[in-house]
A and B are shown apart, each in its own frame.
Chain A
Amino acid sequence: MTGKRGGFLRDNGLSLAFGGLFVVTLVGQAVSGAADFNAQQIANGLEPVSMQEYVTSSSFGVDVMENWQSEYLQFFLYIFATVWLVQRGSAESKKPGDEGTESDKDQRVGPHATEDSPEWARTGGWRGLVFSRSLGLLMGALFLLTWAASSVAGWAAYNGEQLGQLEDPVSWFGYLGEADFWNRSFQNWQSEMLAVGSMTVFSVYLRQRGSPESKPVGVAHAETGETG
Chain B
Amino acid sequence: MPRRCSRPTSVSLALLGGAVLLLGGCASAQRPDVEQVATRFTDPSGDPEARCDLLTPASLASFERSEAAPCAEAINQLPLDSGSVRSVEIWGGEAQVRLTGDTLFLTETHSGWRVTAAGCRMHADAPYDCEVEP
Using CB atoms and an 8 Å cutoff, list the residues of chain A in contact with chain B: 44-47, 49, 53, 55-61, 64-65, 68, 145-146, 148-149, 152-153, 156-157, 159-160, 162-169
Residues of A near B96 (CB, < 8 A) are 163, 168-169
| Shortest beta-carbon distance from A41 to chain B in Å | 9
Question: With an 8 A cutoff between CB atoms, is B68 at the interface?
Answer: no
Contact (Cβ within 8 A) B58 A45: yes
Binary flags per residue of B95-124, CB closer than 8 Å to A gives 1, else 0: 110000000010101100000110010100
A selection of 16 A-B contacts at a CB cut-off of 8 Å is A44-B134, A45-B57, A61-B7, A61-B8, A65-B9, A145-B12, A149-B9, A149-B16, A152-B8, A153-B7, A156-B92, A159-B91, A160-B92, A163-B91, A166-B133, A169-B89
Contact (Cβ within 8 A) A167 B9: no
With both beta carbons as reference points, the residue of chain B lying nearest to A146 in the complex is identified as: B11
Q: Size of chain B's interface in residues, with CB distance under 8 A?
A: 39
With both beta carbons as reference points, the residue of chain A lying nearest to B23 in the complex is identified as: A156
Contact (Cβ within 8 A) A157 B92: yes
Contact (Cβ within 8 A) B94 A163: yes
Question: With an 8 A cutoff between CB atoms, is B20 at the interface?
Answer: yes
Question: With an 8 A cutoff between CB atoms, is B50 at the interface?
Answer: no
Contact (Cβ within 8 A) B130 A166: yes
Residues of B near A59 (CB, < 8 A) are 92
Residues of A near B8 (CB, < 8 A) are 58, 61, 149, 152-153, 156
| Shortest beta-carbon distance from A158 to chain B in Å | 8
Binary flags per residue of B1-40, CB closer than 8 Å to A gives 1, else 0: 0001011111111011001100100000000000000000
CA distance A44 to B8 in the complex (A): 24
User: Which of the listed residues A49, A149, A166 has the most CB atoms from chain B within 10 Å of its own CB?
Assistant: A166
| Shortest beta-carbon distance from B116 to chain A in Å | 8
Question: Would you call the interface of chain B mostly helix, strand, loop, or mixed?
Answer: mixed
Contact (Cβ within 8 A) B7 A165: no
Contact (Cβ within 8 A) B11 A160: no
Contact (Cβ within 8 A) B127 A148: no
CA distance A45 to B20 in the complex (A): 29
| Shortest beta-carbon distance from B108 to chain A in Å | 8
CA distance A155 to B59 in the complex (A): 27
Taking A46-B93, A166-B116 as known contacts, 7 extra A-B pairs with beta carbons closer than 8 A to each other, sorted by chain A number, are A46-B107, A55-B9, A145-B13, A149-B9, A162-B91, A166-B127, A169-B89
- Of the residues A47, A49, A68, A160, contact of B91 by C-beta under 8 Å: A160
User: Which of the listed residues B8, B19, B110 has the most CB atoms from chain A within 10 Å of its own CB?
Assistant: B8
Residues of A near B92 (CB, < 8 A) are 57-59, 156-157, 159-160
Question: With an 8 A cutoff between CB atoms, is B56 at the interface?
Answer: yes
CB-CB under 8 A for A164 and B107, given A45-B57, A148-B16: yes
CA distance A164 to B114 in the complex (A): 12
With both beta carbons as reference points, the residue of chain A lying nearest to B126 in the complex is identified as: A167
- Of the residues A46, A60, A153, A162, contact of B19 by C-beta under 8 Å: A153
Contact (Cβ within 8 A) A61 B9: yes
Q: Which 7 A-B pairs have the closest CB atoms?
A: A45-B58, A163-B94, A160-B92, A56-B6, A58-B7, A61-B9, A159-B91
Contact (Cβ within 8 A) A49 B56: no
Residues of A near B122 (CB, < 8 A) are 168
Contact (Cβ within 8 A) B11 A149: yes
User: Which of the listed residues A46, A57, A68, A164 has the most CB atoms from chain B within 10 Å of its own CB?
Assistant: A46
CA distance A127 to B133 in the complex (A): 62
